[in-house]
Chain A
């Protein structure tokens, strides 16, 4: 463990830093952009982290320590059961305030290959809350958790149904406004607009055409 001993030393002033660097020139720094860097393949910490990629897809990565894995395997044995496979269990916890592992609205499993360290998950459902567990399933059907993720929410895709009493518009007006705002153009009737809106939204996301690639200065270099 570190302690505060360093506090007694003199502060490293900018002047000292300057001197120090002239003193050493930069032999080690010269290589710092070509040197071979091996990043740790693990941090010896049990964790699973969930991230939202878009309204339909989430990403999770994990690290499970051998100790944790062994202890869960032992638990399965002690329960008189047999290990079957490792899975990701994706819980839909929309509207569940305190998720405790057993009060989700629903869940589905993804079986994992041995070496998988991360997974893109097609949850296929915008506007929902999710929690992911990595765990082991026994042949007898028991589920044993290795780690539980943070809670994430996929965003809504489309117009909200929640109206603001103070700022009301007719449906026709909303569709008109969304049509021009989104660059979808203007339909003749509200039904037409609804259909058009839906169609255009889908095109919008699949083509990516209206989104600019940012960081232009980098993008344009060859």
Chain B
């Protein structure tokens, strides 16, 4: 019998970025890179596990904005073109590197990766990646969670429960439509939890969520099993806490696996390295950018980078997987002896870490899962829901305000660079609520307008915007996006309030931000 469990949770999210008004748009490449480098490799890996009948369990959260982009015709068509262009470039690269055997081999590697991605994307799933996720869901081995509507950071909405409710409701409704059944778990954006949030989750039938370490450690009363067991909140919703050791192993820049010198170097991309005229047709915008073809390995701390060796990288990933498994065996054996209950180690990561940032990460995950299944008997993989079925009783606690952002609370999203957004965001919620009370049973154009008003509010609430302002990465885009949503919201508010709807303008806005078809403004009552 196993002595404990490991629960991998991957959180996949990107903000809604879709610009039909531009032929090419740099920020859309976040989505395109995510598909090529993370989502398709993950799908491929999970399907291989199913084909090989490996006994495994994994949990994946998909944010509603990511789902919306995966469903969008325009983005799908653009992505397919993008992938075809990459494939085209990879053929050119094979030709360009034909006199250098080591480079040429790498050019072939990318050529194969793109061919395979195109096959999976276009032929196998007809540009409908959600089809692949639905199949995985039906396998029973992959549990999908939902995430708040636009990835709004919920602790900073606490004073407006209707705003939190709206973030949760649109998420649950989207999930039901996509998967044909209700979600059981929710990924709280940035693991942001505040006391009382659980009762709103309860209203929508959600059964569990994940918090950071101190969400549970600082809970009241004292948690009996540390972070190695779920707890129920008074509402009956379960909280699972992140494990530090497994986080460090993968996240930490110093101690983590992804920093190994044999792994691929993220920052040496031919989008920057090669002649501008040569790569120009493959840049998704005006300036240089990552294309996704990278020929070097991390090599060491200096700027000197040696060529990438896929065999050595694969061996390293396998060794790291063995090390990870060994450490979990020791950890779980140790805890099992002390706890008097089988521990669960909850290991959540941003999905885009795998493949996109840590190129070999998906291989590593594949190795870990297979090794855990075949090479040891100390622990098994499990989903949070699976674990909740193991015991009749769990301790009831009040988790503490917490997030997994820098310093553990709300500072990332509330500081000098981004605090200016809150007077607007909060006024939008008040105005939304005001109009909902004024028009509790709207229909026709008015209903369309009120629903879109809610959409603009949700889009403005993405935690991505203040995050980008704080980190000063794409902050100009973030500022412009949030201002655009605030401004459009205010405009539409006035139109509704004074009965001056401009349906042409509204139609264009709805066309531009075409997500959340099931939105219902009445959630703001």
Query: Which residues of A come within 8 Å of B, CB atoms?
Result: 1-12, 16-18, 20-21, 24, 26, 28-30, 32-34, 37, 39-40, 43, 45, 49, 51-55, 57, 59, 61, 63, 117-118, 150, 152-153, 155-160, 162-164, 166-169, 173-174, 176-178, 180-183, 204-205, 208, 210-222
Contact = CB atoms under 8 A, between A and B. Distances in A.
**Which 4 residue pairs across A and B have the least CB separation, nearest first?**
A181-B226, A183-B244, A217-B352, A167-B224
A113 B265 CA distance: 50
Q: In the complex, which of the residues A8, A21, A45, A204 has the most CB atoms of chain B within 10 Å of its own CB atom?
A: A21
A181 B248 contact: no
Given A20-B503, A220-B356, A222-B267, 20 more contacts: A3-B499, A7-B442, A24-B504, A37-B484, A40-B490, A49-B426, A52-B401, A118-B419, A155-B401, A164-B397, A173-B338, A177-B226, A181-B217, A181-B241, A181-B244, A213-B471, A216-B352, A217-B30, A218-B473, A219-B473
Contact of A214 (B357, B404, B448): B404
Interface stretch (B316-324, B381-389, B406-414): B406-414
A218 B468 contact: yes
Nearest to A11: B444
A221 B474 CA distance: 9
30 contacts: A1-B497, A2-B497, A6-B442, A11-B445, A11-B447, A17-B507, A26-B508, A29-B512, A40-B490, A59-B419, A61-B423, A157-B218, A158-B218, A159-B218, A164-B395, A166-B395, A177-B226, A178-B226, A180-B226, A181-B217, A181-B227, A205-B407, A210-B213, A211-B404, A211-B405, A211-B406, A212-B404, A214-B404, A217-B356, A218-B474
Nearest to B151: A215
Given A159-B217, A211-B407, A215-B464, A220 B504 contact: no
A23 B422 CA distance: 37
A26 B244 CA distance: 49
Q: In the complex, which of the residues B34, B335, B404, B423 has the most CB atoms of chain A within 10 Å of its own CB atom?
A: B423
Contacts of B446: 4, 6-7
A63 B446 CA distance: 31
Nearest to A176: B338
Interface in B319-375: 335, 338, 350, 352-353, 356-357
B510 interface: yes
Nearest to B409: A54
B210 to A, nearest CB: 12
Given A155-B400, A183-B244, A54 B511 contact: no
A176 B156 CA distance: 33
B508 A164 contact: no
Contact of A61 (B396, B422, B474): B422
B74 to A, nearest CB: 12
Contacts of B217: 159, 178, 181-182
B406 A20 contact: no
Contacts, number: 255
Contacts of A216: 350, 352-353, 356-357
A52 B409 contact: yes
Nearest to A59: B414
A64 to B, nearest CB: 13
A176 B348 CA distance: 23
A213 B406 contact: yes
B409 A221 contact: no
B496 interface: yes
B34 A17 contact: no
A54 B20 contact: no
A80 B327 CA distance: 74
Interface string B266-291: 11000000000000000000000010
A98 B408 CA distance: 31
A6 B445 contact: yes
B448 A11 contact: yes
Contacts of A63: 423
A168 B340 CA distance: 12
Contacts of B21: 26, 29-30, 32
B132 interface: no
B251 interface: yes
B213 A54 contact: no
A39 to B, nearest CB: 6
A47 to B, nearest CB: 8
B508 A210 contact: no
A18 B73 CA distance: 13
Contact of A210 (B226, B244, B352, B496): B244
Given A153-B195, A160-B221, A181-B228, A20 B410 contact: no
